[in-house]
């Protein structure tokens, strides 16, 4: 297996070639996580080429490897594969990882992944909930909004 990791201005880019076993994947994810932490990058693009798909995500321990990145809500991990089988396995990994609170997405193109990195709707700050209004305050605000309607 060959793993090339480069640091781009806004993200860490990793290209994996000829990855055949889950051990290869775990080793590569450990190296990618270490590089992301070292450079303070919260966005990671992993592109997989000429490799076998992995569908046994839970048994292989890949979720534990992804958790090595640290505070998972802070990281965005984009996956790309060069074959239909790889993309299907990445979609499955995405669904399992997201249920575990890991921010992973599968993409068919680099442009789509880079757009996701810059999309501010996915920013953790925007997801913070405001304090809910209690009882009478909430009803008063609702009445105010109804009375402001233009005639």
Give the mean pLDDT per block of 10 residues along the chain (151 residues). Answer: 92 93 88 90 93 80 75 82 92 88 91 89 50 53 56 55
Rg of the chain taking only CA atoms, in angstroms: 20
Residue 71 has phi, psi (to 5 degrees) of -65, 105
pLDDT at 127: 47
Task: Give the global pTM.
Answer: 0.74
pLDDT at 128: 44
pLDDT at 20: 86
pLDDT at 99: 86
Report the SS3 class of residue 45.
strand
pLDDT at 130: 46
pLDDT at 87: 93
């Amino acid at each position: 297996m060959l793993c090339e990791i480069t640091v781009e201005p806004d993200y860490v880019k990793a290209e994996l070639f000829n990855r055949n076993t889950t051990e290869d994947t775990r080793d590569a994810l450990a190296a990618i996580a270490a590089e992301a932490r070292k450079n303070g990058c919260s966005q990671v693009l992993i592109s997989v080429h000429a490799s076998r798909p992995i569908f046994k995500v839970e048994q292989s321990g890949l979720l534990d490897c992804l958790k090595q990145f640290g505070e998972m809500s802070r990281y965005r991990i984009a996956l790309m594969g060069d074959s239909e089988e790889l993309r299907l396995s990445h979609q499955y990994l995405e669904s399992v990882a997201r249920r575990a609170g890991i921010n992973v997405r599968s993409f068919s193109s680099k442009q789509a992944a880079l757009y996701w990195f810059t999309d501010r709707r996915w920013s953790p700050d925007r997801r913070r909930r405001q304090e809910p209004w209690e009882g009478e305050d909430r009803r008063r605000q609702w009445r105010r909004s109804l009375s402001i309607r233009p005639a």
